[in-house]
Amino acid sequence: MGARPRLAVALAGAVAASAGDLGLVWVGLAHDGAFGLPAPWPGMLLLGHYLGVLGIPLYGLGYAALAAGIRGGSPRAARAVCLLGAVGAVVGAVVHGLTGALTHAAIRTGASTAPSAMLAIPEAAFLLPLWGIVALALAAGSLAFAAAVGRGGTRYPRWMAFCNPLAATGVIAGLAAPLPLLAALVVPAAPNLAHVVVFTVALVAADRHPSPRG
């Protein structure tokens, strides 16, 4: 499969996962009565759960395409991006699934679904270390990609060094932060929304500069 089809599939996964994140957050906020949000339809939590669990693993295809695009300039960075992207995609899907399950358990038992409250429960021990793995994989993979593109010799223009998942996550979260409701909805989804941005930009670049299979 060439770079463009892989990026297109990964982009579809990122859109699905972002919608899933927003669904989970909406359910949690509405259950806690935050911001006066109306309760979503009963199937929203389950739908949001599966959108992320099934969508996030597709990021592995996108990272493989990104790696192929920088292989000519830095084979070592390409291997790192491919491997770290795969790790982040697999563990990220687990994180999303656990988040959905913990949200359901909190609602079923009448507990708070506020992020601070959920992080304080004993079950958070099953989730937080995995979040750390995803964060490290995203950061390391983004830096490897940015460094390779910035040095040149890849199939991407050098400005695309700034279009990586870590930077895009920060920009999206920063833009949403001043508005409390927007921040509450968007910041938790920022990593997946960032992949929508990165895969879209890479897809456009792949159209302009087709890369070989591999």
Buried residues in 46-85 as b, exposed as e (16+ CB within 10 A) = ebbbebbbbbbbbbbbbbbbbbbbbbebbeebbebbbbbb
pLDDT digits (tens, 9 = 90+) for 81-112: 999 999 999 999 999 999 999 999 888 888 88
Summarize the chain as % helix, strand, coil (round to 5): 80, 0, 20
Among the listed ranges 77-81, 146-150, 187-191, 203-207, which one has the minimum average pLDDT value? 203-207
pLDDT at 212 over 50: no
pLDDT at 116 over 80: no
Instruction: Please tell me the total number of residues recorded for the chain in this structure.
Output: 214
Is residue 68 within 8 A of residue 3, CB to CB? The reply is yes
pLDDT at 209 over 90: no
Instruction: Please give the single-letter amino acid code of residue 214.
Output: G
Residue 207's pLDDT band (boundaries 50, 70, 90)?
low
* The overall pTM is greater than 0.95: no
pLDDT at 117 over 80: no
Which pLDDT does position 214 carry in this prediction? 40
Domain residue ranges of the chain, discontinuous segments joined by +: 3-208
123's tokens: 């079950």
